[in-house]
Amino acid sequence: MPLLIDQRIVTEDPWQLLDQAALDEGSPIPENGPIAVPIIWYRQHREALQQRNSPLGVIVNGDDDLAALYADHSQLDLIAIEFPTFRDGRGFSIARQLVRSGFNRQIRALGHVTRDRLALMQSSGFNAFAINDERFQTDHLQAFSEISVNYQGTTADPRPIFRR
């Protein structure tokens, strides 16, 4: 799965994204190295996870209760937001709210990440994109520069075009 971070292809991803089902079945949590866990697991094991001496992240989607996420985001190094389908745009709002609340670390898009949505995702606050192998092409990097003007405000410049 190719990963783009800050508009560059990253070959080695140090993060281990742990699956809820595997955690529920008793899979051990790695003692070292950056991990990201589902937000439900994070809420249940928050204190133990925060005692690890490695970077910590959470995985969220639009169905999750995000109150704990907004309250604790200063403790996190990565927030991965899932896009389960093309039609589900709640991840855009989550990313934008995270940036507005001061989160300035990695916001990663997971799931249905397509070339035509990369620029919009970036303007919403995402800075990392995990793209499925079958969808990825090297010209994905051009998607970030194809739209030079945004009518609405972005996370980089929140002013709408009529206020600039």
Answer whether residue 153 is part of any domain. Answer: no
> What is the model's pLDDT at position 104?
94
> What is the model's pLDDT at position 136?
85
Answer whether residue 163 is part of any domain. Answer: no
Q: Whole-angstrom Cα distance, residue 43 to residue 98?
A: 18
Give tens-digit pLDDT for 115-124.
999 999 999 9
Answer whether residue 65 is part of any domain. Answer: yes
Confidence check: pLDDT of 143 > 90: no
State which residues form the domain around 8. 3-146
Q: What is the mean pLDDT of the chain?
A: 90
Answer whether residue 26 is part of any domain. Answer: yes
Answer whether residue 158 is part of any domain. Answer: no
Mean pLDDT of 82-108: 94
Q: What CATH number is given to the structural domain containing 121?
A: 3.20.20.70
Q: What is the count of structural domains for the chain?
A: 1
- Which is nearest to 123 in space by CA: 90, 101, 152, 161? 152
Neighbours of 150 (CB within 10 A): 16
